[in-house]
Structure 1
Amino acid sequence: MTIHWNGDAPIYIQLYQQVIKRILDGNIKEGEALPSVRKVAAEYQLNPVTISKAYQMLQDEKYVEKQRGKGLFVKAGAAHNILEKERAVFLSTEWPQILQQISRLKLSVEELPRISKESQ
């Protein structure tokens, strides 16, 4: 997992978002273990507390569960729940801005690029 940190958000938030993205993209599947806090801390030269904060957010939102002595595992249904939440956030925050920009640029539906499954 290659991560490029930006200065606009705390690293634990960015790490949380990366895990969410990897679950949505199918790179981390339901039932799979997340990398250990120690492994992530060593790989990215981060404080283990930073990783623990990101992982705690995932637990708080019930996307992962701790299995004593084994680590954190992605819960069944997590991908679906994440997808629903991400769609709601997109439609309530990002989509209105996109629509405003389309209107501002006086673009018609015909002028918008067609997105095919092949290009994704």
Structure 2
Amino acid sequence: MTTQWQADKPIYLQLYQQVIERILDGYIQEGEALPSVRKVAAQYQVNPMTISKAYQMLQDENIVEKQRGKGLYVKHGAQEVILKRERDMFLTERWPAILKQIKRLQLAPESLLNGEGLS
């Protein structure tokens, strides 16, 4: 995870998003334990409550589950749930603006898919 924090976004949201991305990218596998709150807090010199808040969001969304005495584990099926949600958000929130820009710049979809005209 990064130690460069964006000033305009709360750290707990950035941590939450990093865990989501690491699950999607396969760096954190389903069934795998998340690092402890204390370990992450010490590693990134962040208040443990900040880490707890990010982890609580993951629990609230049923991405991770607490196993008594062991910690938090990524639930089986979490990657597919995240992937579906992220795709939906991309298509509804980001894609319309991207499509508008593609049309404005008169870019051909084929050239974008082939990486042509990119430097």
Query: With structure 2 as the length reference, what TM-score do the two structures score?
Result: 0.92
Residues in 1 aligned to 2:84 and 2:93: alpha-carbon distance in whole angstroms: 14
Aligned residue for 1:54?
54
Q: Which of structure 1's runs of 4+ aligned residues deviate more than 3 A?
A: none
Aligned residue for 1:107?
107
Please state how far the C-alpha of 1:7 moved relative to its aligned partner: 0.9
% of aligned pairs identical? 69
Q: Give the paired residue count.
A: 115
1:56-71 counterparts in 2 under 5 A?
56-71=56-71
1:1-120 counterparts in 2 under 5 A?
1-114=1-114
Offset from partner CA, 1:56-102 (integer Å, 9 cap, x none): 00000000000011000000000000000000000001111110100
More displaced stretch, 104-113 vs 88-97: 104-113
Which structure 1 residue ranges, 5 or more long, are not aligned? 116-120
Which structure 2 residue ranges, 5 or more long, are not aligned? none
Please state how far the C-alpha of 1:109 moved relative to its aligned partner: 2.3
